[in-house]
Structure 1
Amino acid sequence: MMLRCVIVEDLSVAAEYLSKCCEKAGNIQVTAKFSNVADALSYLNENPVDLIFLDVEMPEATGFDLLDQLAYLPKVILTTSKPEYAYPAFEYKVVDFLKKPYTYQRFSEAIAKLSTDSPSIPTQTSPDHIFIKSDGKLIRLNLTDILFIESMGDYVKFVTADKKFISHHTIKNLEEKVPKQQFIRVHRSYIVNIARIDDIRENFIFIQGNEIPVSKSQKPEILKRLNIL
């Protein structure tokens, strides 16, 4: 059975060694490698995997932060140079703890502990929240709280009822990531939460006093998505 995995490791040398170990094992496919928690979290919540090789000390957030924020829990093998992380690691029910530097033989022993049972991955349930990177922090946003998303070039602004968050994304990229049943792009610069629309007047949508332009090409699709009696 081929296991899909990701490597979350900020040291490129360590990530490359681990990747070669996986290749040598023959039954582990590395689908992606990440050097920070934010990028790994974004990928994992959209692309469920069987296994994560996870370093603890990462830039801006720890490996434990990633496990706290995942929408599901795959198998985890922790990789770190500090043995003091062993106890909290097993509180997260990790499969094994690889203390750097480790040999291929030690890697093989960790792999042997993996169960053949499939991880508990919610394939039918969409997440009810996202995490965005803003002001150097990972911030949780409940999807129902997002009123709309506005493009600001290479950045976007997430607008809720009482706050605004700036994050490094493009509107096109986000259009592919937010749940399509809940959000719709209404203009080249705006994605709105359909459930938060108050009214539509001519070529504008109004959400809690915010006036949002609607592209003529998008208006038929918007009207089709609304519950019009």
Structure 2
Amino acid sequence: MPDSDPLACVIVEDNEMNRLTLEHFVAITPGLTLQAALEDGRQALHYLHTEPPVQVLLLDIEMPHLTGLDLIRVLPKPLPAIVLVTSHEAFAVEAFELPVIDYLVKPVEYARFLQAVQLVRDRRHREPASLPARPPATIELAAPGSSDLFVKVNGRLVRLNFDEVLYIEALATYSVLVTAAQKHIVYASLKILEDRLPFAHFMRVHRSYIVNTQRIDAVEDHVLLLGPYQVPVGKSYQTTLRDRLNTL
């Protein structure tokens, strides 16, 4: 069932036939409205800086002057839900280093398009859009030399033993501290936590993950196994992680 409020979409595609196909898909999909159909990344950058915000960006990767991947890196925040569209699956690895919901390969079939739309809706339902704004998390050492920190969780300072934290995951404007026993929502970005954590054994391994390197059980095909959980390793972090693990 579509959301009660339609999702405003912008299409960025330099191929006219592909652009018209996406326009048609948006038009026949309940709960979507087309706000703009643009021919290249430069037009899109100007549009997204100057026009009302959109919820969904259907974005071609291979475009002249400014590729879709480059456009994502310079878009104003907060980002819309981004669905990439391309002719080459080879871009998938690099694409998922970026905040992308899904990746469609041309020629796009309508059934696959609907799957991407559902992923966008599912993600929106998981995002804490209804949560009130909160101040950045307070992170304070409980005592000199201690592995405990006081972290603001759900509006109160909670004492956590960071030796028990397996990894930290970014979710929208907040983060989740994951232990083997439970998860704690912290109202701070992953960048804030990365900058403030005083422990050298916590390491960024992906744009969405920081891991406790002392709790890594195994590494399999650029995936870290930490207890019952699996954490992906981003391409740009693989060499640094390998060097770090070699010193453990």
Once residues 108 and 58 of structure 2 are traced to their aligned partners in structure 1, the CA distance between those partners, rounded to angstroms, is: 13
Q: Aligned to 1:28, which of 27, 32, 41?
A: 32
Deviation at 1:119, TM superposition (A): 9.8
**What is the alpha-carbon distance in structure 2 between the residues aligned to residue 63 and residue 110 of structure 1?**
17
- Measured on the aligned residues, the alpha-carbon RMSD in Å equals 1.7
Q: 1:105 to 1:82 in 2, by over 3 A?
A: same
1:93 deviates by: 2.6
Large movers: runs of 4+ above 4 Å:
117-120
What does residue range 1-229 of structure 1 map to in structure 2 within 5 Å?
1-47=5-51, 48-72=53-77, 73-114=79-120, 115-117=123-125
Identity among equivalent pairs (%):
37
User: Are the structure 2 counterparts of residues 52 and 61 from structure 1 closer, same or farther at C-alpha, using a change threshold of 3 Å?
Assistant: same
Question: CA 1:99–1:39 in 2, change beyond 3 Å: closer, same or farther?
Answer: same
Q: Partner of 1:220 in structure 2?
A: none
One-letter code of the match for 1:77?
V
Distance 1:96 1:119 in 2: 20
Query: Aligned to 1:7, what secondary structure does the other structure show?
Result: strand
User: Which stretches in structure 1 are left out of the alignment for 5+ residues?
Assistant: 121-229
Structure 2 gaps of 5+ residues are 130-248
Q: TM-score if structure 1 supplies the norm length?
A: 0.50
Over 3 Å counting, the alpha-carbon distance change for 1:8 and 1:113 in structure 2 is same
What CA distance in whole angstroms lies between the structure 2 residues aligned with 1:58 and 1:89? 15
The code of the aligned residue for 2:116 comes to: A
For 1:5, give the aligned amino acid. Answer: C
Shift of 1:24: 1.1
Per-residue deviation, residues 172-222 of structure 1 (Å, max 9, x unmatched) = xxxxxxxxxxxxxxxxxxxxxxxxxxxxxxxxxxxxxxxxxxxxxxxxxxx
Shift of 1:103: 0.9
The alpha-carbon deviation at position 38 of structure 1 amounts to 1.0
Tell whether the 8 Å contact from 1:50 to 1:119 is kept in structure 2 after alignment: no
Equivalence for 2:172: none
CA distance in 1, matches of 2:46, 2:98: 20
Distance 1:107 1:15, change over 3 A: same
Mapped contact 1:74–1:119 kept (Cα < 8 A): no
- Cα 1:76/1:119, change in 2 over 3 Å: farther
Closer, same or farther: CA 32–49 of 1 in aligned 2, 3 Å? same
CA distance in 1 between counterparts of 2:72 and 2:93 reads 15
In 2, the alpha carbon distance for the partners of 1:30 and 1:77 equals 14
Structure 2 Cα separation of the partners of residues 85 and 64 of structure 1 = 9
- Whether contact under 8 Å (1:19, 1:30) holds in the other structure is yes
Alpha-carbon offset, residue 81 of structure 1:
0.4
Q: What secondary structure sits across from 1:109 in the alignment? A: helix
Distance (whole Å) between structure 2 residues aligned to residue 119 and residue 61 of structure 1: 32
Q: Deviations over 1:89-125 (max 9, x none)?
A: 11113111000012100101111111234799xxxxx
2:115 maps to amino acid: E
Seen in structure 2, the aligned counterparts of structure 1 residues 43 and 119 have a Cα distance that, compared at 3 Å, is farther
Over residues 18-47 of structure 1, what are the superposed CA-to-partner deviations in whole Å (9 max), with x where a residue is unaligned? 011111112111111111111110010122
CA–CA distance in 2 between the matches of 1:64 and 1:57? 9
Paired residue total: 120
